[in-house]
Amino acid sequence: MTDAATPKKRAKPKAKVQKVPTEAQAPARQVIGKDCVVAFHYSLCEVNAAGELSGWLEKSASRDPLLYLHGHANVIAGLEEALEGKTEGDKISITLGPEQAYGPRRPNSVQRIPIKHLHLRPDQKQLKAGEIVAIQTHNGIRNALVVKAGRFNVDVDTNHPYAGRTLHYEIEIVGVRPATPEEIEHRHAHGHGGHHH
Ligand code: ZN
């Protein structure tokens, strides 16, 4: 049942010159699987016990998309699982409990650390409780929450700041490509938004 009043999209008039894809016989869009490099934008908020969403905690839209190598646990487990099989242009909304995200909060994980061992940003002169600082560990740099700051030492909670939280992600996949042999060897993505050496 169509007539002129239906708000249906009209077929565009045929262009005189047929549009040729830049790559003739371009292959079907790459689907996300092991050893793909995925570029995506994300927004992240927390879901409280009542199921209400917080304001956005993080948003990548104003920055470059994030790049990661799929299949190597470079993003949290729940996200990697949700992205499997998706392709460029796909959008995903997903809510992940702590076990699929950053794990439960471990009690007794407060440590006293000399301030000189922290990787402070230039704007982090006077540390206060509640701030996130970067600490050097045997497994590289990780973030920790300051629970108490002294003159020479800080007490930090080494739980991930999102440990124990239920998180909601809005994801938009903006690119998928096969990884290079070097990226697979390094187990991370290279280039803008990925790792730089
Ligand atoms: Zn590398």
pLDDT band at 61 (very low <50, low <70, confident <90, very high): confident
pLDDT, residue 68, reads 96
157 Cα–ligand 1 center, Å: 30
Identify the residue whose tokens are 């790049």.
Answer: 67
Contact 65, 89 (CB under 8 A): no
Strands 110-114 and 153-157: antiparallel
Q: Dump pLDDT digits (tens) for 8-38.
A: 555 555 556 666 556 556 667 899 999 999 9
pLDDT of residue 184: 96
pLDDT at 2: 45
The domains of the chain, with CATH numbers, are 36-104+162-186 (3.10.50.40), 110-157 (2.40.10)
Span 145-188, pLDDT tens digits: 899 999 999 999 988 889 999 999 999 999 999 999 999 999 99
The CA 186 to ligand 1 mean position distance, Å, reads 5
Tell me the CA–centroid distance for residue 187 and ligand 1, in Å. 7
The torsion angle over the Cα atoms of residues 62, 67, 68 and 74, rounded to 10 degrees, is -30
Question: Taking 90 as the threshold, does the pLDDT of residue 1 lie above it?
Answer: no
Q: What is the radius of gyration, based on Cα positions, of the chain?
A: 22
Element (H, E) at 80: helix 77-83
Q: How far is the CA of 194 from the centre of ligand 1 (A)?
A: 9
Residue-level pLDDT at 48: 93
